[in-house]
Amino acid sequence: MESVKNLKQTNILKYFLIILISSTLLAISAKLKIPFYPVPMTMQTFVVLLIGVCFGWKLGGVIISFYLLEGIVGLPVFSGTPEKGSGIIYFVGPTMGYLIGFIFAAMLSGFFKFNKNILLNFLKLVLSVSIIYFLGIIWLGTLIGWSKPIIELGVTPFLLAEIFKIVLLSLIVTMFNKKLSELRKWIGLSW
């Protein structure tokens, strides 16, 4: 009985540390601006998908939800905070659809089984990241009006950077597939 209690405490601590470290990594990725064309790139969507790939759909969804909660309560974890505001005011602004899309993108990338086929891995990651942009443009169009060029404002400037990040993540997932499987088993997940 005592060993079961210790195991549960160890698992709770393990999950808590994974959530805390992952949400911190996501916040850092939102703040780092990498020069890129046509707009500076953050590695935020890369980390969102990586969280799903590494930790599965359930834990991935929890991690992203925790990150969003940090931002909603006012911690400066989002890209553009605190310069452009913070807390719930920032959250319900133009980027809310994208931020909510992070949850579903992490969950979808965590649901997929990845293997040594780089093309299939690439397509799964493209589908996962597409949810972010789909929800992003739905919210953006609702917020600023559909008469504006929503796709040109909310998707086109980021396409090259997304392709770069998806190719990079596809290579990582394919090359380190065995290590990712071991990580997921350690966490208590499997593909």
Residue pLDDT, tens place only, 83-124: 888 899 999 999 999 999 999 999 999 999 999 999 999 999
**Which tokens go with 26?**
């996501």
Alpha-carbon span 147 to 39, nearest angstrom: 23
Alpha-carbon span 90 to 108, nearest angstrom: 26
Cα-trace Rg, the chain: 17
**Residues linked to residue 81 through DSSP beta bridges, in sequence order:** none
Domains of the chain (ranges plus CATH)? Answer: 2-187 (1.10.1760.20)
C-alpha to C-alpha distances, 48 to 62, 68, 78, 191, nearest whole angstrom: 12, 12, 13, 19
User: Measured over all CA atoms, what is the biggest interatomic distance in the chain, rounded to whole angstroms?
Assistant: 64
Residues 6+ apart with CB under 8 A from 25: 47
pLDDT value of position 8: 72
Report which of 1, 50, 7, 3 is spatially closest to residue 25, judged by C-alpha positions. Answer: 50
Q: What is the mean pLDDT of residues 27-39?
A: 88
Residue pLDDT, tens place only, 61-90: 999 999 999 999 999 999 988 888 889 999
Residue pLDDT, tens place only, 37-48: 777 889 999 999
C-alpha to C-alpha distances, 14 to 24, 30, 186, nearest whole angstrom: 15, 24, 10
pLDDT value of position 82: 85
Residue pLDDT, tens place only, 118-157: 999 999 999 999 999 999 999 999 999 998 899 998 899 9
Alpha-carbon span 28 to 102, nearest angstrom: 15
**Which tokens go with 123?**
């397509």
Where do runs of H (alpha helix) occur along the chain? Answer: 2-31, 44-72, 87-91, 96-111, 118-144, 150-154, 159-175, 177-187
* CA 67, 150, 137, 146 torsion-angle sign: positive
